[in-house]
Amino acid sequence: MSKLNDLATEPKLAPLTAADIESLHRLASKPNKIPVVILRFSSRITRDEWMEKRSHLKATKSVVYFLDNLTALNKKQLWMMGERCAEKQYQYAWQVEGKLFSRKADGQCAIRIETEADLDKMC
CA distance 109 to 104: 8
Is 77 in the same domain as 114?
yes
Domain boundary among 35, 59, 83: 59
Is 51 in the same domain as 90?
no
Is 55 in the same domain as 86?
no
Is 43 in the same domain as 82?
no
Long-range Cβ pairs for the range 115-119 (8 Å, 24+): 116/77, 116/80, 119/77, 119/80, 119/81, 119/84
Is 15 in the same domain as 49?
yes
Is 80 in the same domain as 53?
no
Is 7 in the same domain as 53?
yes
Q: Is residue 55 part of a domain?
A: yes
Encode the chain (123 residues) as per-residue pLDDT tens digits.
676 777 666 667 788 888 998 988 888 888 888 788 888 889 989 888 888 877 776 666 666 677 777 888 888 888 989 899 999 899 988 888 888 999 999 999 888 988 888 888 777
Domain boundary among 59, 82, 97: 59
Domain that residue 116 falls in: 72-120
Tally of structural domains, the chain: 2
Three-class SS of residue 46? helix
Is 78 in the same domain as 51?
no
Is 6 in the same domain as 46?
yes
**Prediction pTM value:** 0.62
Q: Is residue 22 part of a domain?
A: yes
For residue 81, how far is the Cα from the chain centroid?
16
